Amino acid sequence: MSPILLATVEAATNAAQAGPLEGLQQTFEHFGVEPKFILLQVISFLILFGVLYKFGVKPTLATMEERNAKIASGLKNAEETQTRLAAAAQESAQIVRNAQIEAQKSIDEARKAAKEFADKQQAEAVARAADTLAKAQQAIELEHRKMLDQARSEIARLVVKTTEQVLAKKLTEADRAAYNEAATKELSAL
């Protein structure tokens, strides 16, 4: 058994034999504990505690609070950033959707315009073809009439020439005299 344990047992035995205060006093004396030393140690401890508190604990606590504040601020900023990021993502998604809608609208308008242009071109081509056909028909008809007129004129000319030849041979002097008499009357009546 250790000497400290033996001294403790001995002191406890002595104290049990005397009164409680006396026993405690005897115990302290037995271990060499004196009040002035304890008081000095307490003062020393308080001075050391004060110095440590002022130059060690207090700056450390301030640093820790500052760091905690920074961490809290960082967390807050992170949350705000995340919120803004989510909002930005939502906004960008909305922008993309709007862009898709606009693009689809533009594509539809372009298709519509292309279809209208194609329809217009087709209609104009049909109109031009019809006009060309009508002009060709008019030209053919005009040429046909011209040919008929030429043929009619030629036939008439031949008939007249033939008639003149026949009349030149067949008209007698009496016929001519009668014709001249009628012509004289006609011209005299002018």
Partner 1 sequence: MAADKKTKVLARQLFKLSLADGQVSAEKVSGVLGWVDKHEPRQPLALLKLYQNLIATELSRLNAVVTHAGPLAATALGQIEQALTKKYQRRITATARPDAKLLAGLRVHIGDDVYESSASSQLAALSV
Binding site for partner 1 (CB under 8 A): 153, 156-157, 159-160, 163-164, 167-168, 171, 173, 175-177, 179-190
Can you say how many angstroms the Cα of residue 29 is from the centroid of all Cα atoms in its chain? 92
- Cβ at position 163, least distance to partner 1 in Å: 6
- Cβ at position 187, least distance to partner 1 in Å: 5
Cβ distance to partner 1 smaller for residue 16 or 168: 168
Helix, strand or coil for residue 64? helix
Cβ distance to partner 1 smaller for residue 22 or 164: 164
- Cβ at position 184, least distance to partner 1 in Å: 4
Cβ distance to partner 1 smaller for residue 95 or 183: 183
**H or E segment at 33?**
none
Cβ distance to partner 1 smaller for residue 143 or 181: 181
**CA–CA dist 164, 180 (Å, integer):** 17
**CA–CA dist 106, 180 (Å, integer):** 94
**CA–CA dist 186, 183 (Å, integer):** 5
- Cβ at position 146, least distance to partner 1 in Å: 16
Distance set, CA 39 to CA 28, 32, 36, 44, 45 (Å): 14, 14, 5, 8, 10
